[in-house]
Amino acid sequence: MRGRTEMLKWGLAGAMSASLLACDVAAPVEPSLKPQSRPAQAAAAAPPQVAQPTSQKSAALRSYLNQVQVAQLSQGLLRQDGGGLDTPFTASVLARNFEQIAFFNEYDGAFTGRGGASPLRRWATPVRMEVIFGDSVPPSQRQADTKDVHSYARRLSRVTGHPVSTGGRPNFLVVIASEDDRAETLAAIAKRLPGISGSSLRALRDMRRDTYCAVAAYAAGPSANTYTAAVAVIRSENPDLLRLSCIHEELAQGMGLANDSPGARPSIFNDDDEFALLTRHDEQLLKMLYDPRLSIGMTAAEAQPIVREIAEEMAGGPV
C-alpha cells in the first residue's frame, strides 16, 4: 500500500492558498559613456544548499523502504509498462472500476478506518501544484522530484482536460519530507494556508511506518464535494521508484479518484502494488472523472448510465 486518501471538509472562507513573495524588478539603467566604478568588494555568492543530516530513525526507515522496493521488484511488482496484452479490460470492467474508485472513500477522515460511499468529487477550479521539501532532502533529490511533479502535472492536465499546473498561487501542496522534518514542514504549511490548522494535518503528520505516502483533499467552498485544496505527503526516504509511484498515485487520487479497488487492473488504484505508475486504464478513469456529462455531487446510482455510456465509448464495445 502506498497511500491513504480522504476528502476533508473545513469551514474556510474560500480556496486555500499560499502567499507568494513578489519579485523585485530592476530599475532601468541610464546610458553612460564612462566606465562604471566597481564596488570595493563583490557581493558574496549564496552558499550552496546543503541537506541536514538524518537521524538513525530516518536512516533505518530508508533501509527498510529500499528492502521493500527490492522485494517487490523481485516479485514482478511495481511494473512501469502501463499494462499490456496480459491485462485486457472491457467497457464493463472499466465502468465497474470507475464506480468503485470514484464513488467511495478509501479511509475515513482520520485515516483509521475504511471510508464509505460518497458522491462524485473533483476540482472545479484550476489545480496549481507546489513542491515543498523538508530540510533533510538533498539538492539532487529535490531537482529530480520537482521535475517529476512538473512533468506529471502536465500529464494530468492533458489526460483530464482540466487545468493542472505548477505555477501561480498553489492550492495543491506536494510535501516531500523525512521522518525527521515532516512534522515541522507540515506545521509551516498550516501557518501559510489560512484556515488549515495543525490538527487538520495530524493524520498526514503521524503516518504509520508502512504508509509510504498519503493525500488529503479539502472542500472549503459552498459545495461539500468540490475540492478547493489538497496536501500530499511523500516520505523522502522512499527509493526512487517508490517515490515516483507515490507521486503518480497520490496526485491522481487528489484529483478525485479517492479509493482503491482489488479488482482494478491494470491500475495503481489497487493495493497489490503490481503497477508503480499511472496506466492506460487509469488515464481513462481520470478522463471519465472530468467528463462534462458527469456532475459534481452525483451519486453512483445517478451516474451509472452515463458512466457506462462513457466506458463504452472509450473501450470501443458494449458494456
**Is 90 exceeded by the pLDDT of residue 319?**
no
Cα distance between residue 310 and residue 319, in whole Å: 10
Write out the DSSP string of 125-153.
Answer: S-EEEEEEE-TTS-HHHHHHHHHHHHHHH
Q: What is the pLDDT of residues 173-205, one digit of tens each?
A: 999 999 999 999 999 988 776 556 677 799 899
The DSSP H or E segment spanning 57 is helix 56-74
Instruction: Report residue 18 CA to chain centroid gap.
Output: 17
Q: In 103-199, where does DSSP find H-type helix?
A: 139-160, 182-192
pTM, full prediction = 0.83
114 to each of 9, 101, 107, 175, how far by Cα in Å? 17, 13, 4, 24
Q: Contact, 241 vs 276, CB < 8 A?
A: yes
Q: Backbone phi, then psi, for 208, in 5-degree steps? A: -70, 160
- Rounded to the nearest 10°, the torsion over CA 188, 128, 144, 76 is 110
pLDDT value, residue 107 = 63
Q: Backbone phi, then psi, for 286, in 5-degree steps? A: -65, -40
Cα distance between residue 277 and residue 236, in whole Å: 18
Pick the CATH number of 5-9+56-315 from 3.90.740.10, 2.30.30.90, 3.40.390.10, 3.90.25.10: 3.40.390.10
- Rounded to the nearest 10°, the torsion over CA 89, 124, 20, 201 is -70
Domain ranges of the chain: 5-9+56-315
Q: What is the pLDDT of residues 84-120, one digit of tens each?
A: 999 999 999 999 999 999 999 876 555 555 668 999 9
